[in-house]
Amino acid sequence: MKLGDCVTLIRGTTYKSSLLSESDGPVLLGLGSIERHGGFKKGAWKHYPGSSSPDIILHPGDLYVSLKDLTQACDLLGAVARVPKYLTEGRLTQDTVKLHFQNNASEQVRQYVYWSLRSPQYRAYCKARGTGTTNMSLSRKDFLDWEIPTKTKGRDTLVQLLELIELKLALNSRLNDHLAEMA
């Protein structure tokens, strides 16, 4: 099954930099919020209290992707992130797109798609299809043409293990933050 068979894309938009805030409004979810090769990147976020279409607002568990990269290394090209539970609301920027799942996809399907987009095979796929010389981009068509690996019992088990590992890493990170505050 191709990715485009289960998701559509909602593109982010530009924003007025004069309205940026340190704490008011949804967190801006642009390139700086995605780890190299995928995953959510913790950091000091900017917030946007200005008006935004409800379509570009994200909530915990939503997936978003960078179809651009500012380097030829393509580390962010096609990189996916998932909004963590501790962020109540985020806003797409012009550099990111939201994955809108069709037919009320189950949490297991969402997790399977997420981890397929974190795989080395997918990363190689994106890099091979990147276009541009200075700023790299991945076409919507190429992104949606990604062939999601067929689900198997083994792959489902792997996804469950990856979910548990990511949860443990998040818990350890929160514990470290708490200990740093105490110190």
Q: What domains sit in the chain, N to C, each tagged with a CATH number? A: 3-151 (3.90.220.20)
Q: Are 37 and 71 in contact (CB under 8 A)?
A: no
pLDDT in tens, 124-150: 999 999 999 888 999 999 999 999 999
pTM of the model: 0.91
Residue 179 has pLDDT above 90, yes or no: no
Determine the 3-state secondary structure of 135 from DSSP: coil
Q: How far apart are alpha carbons 183 and 177 in whole angstroms? A: 10
> Please, what is the average pLDDT of the chain?
93
Confidence at residue 4, expressed as pLDDT on a 0 to 100 scale: 96
Q: Please provide the DSSP assignment of 62-123 as one string.
A: -EEEE-EESSTT-SSTT-EEE--TT---EEE-TTEEEEEESTT--HHHHHHHHHHTTSHHHH
Q: Among 45, 46, 43, 44, which residue's Cα sits nearest to residue 21? A: 46
CB count in 10 Å sphere of residue 56: 22
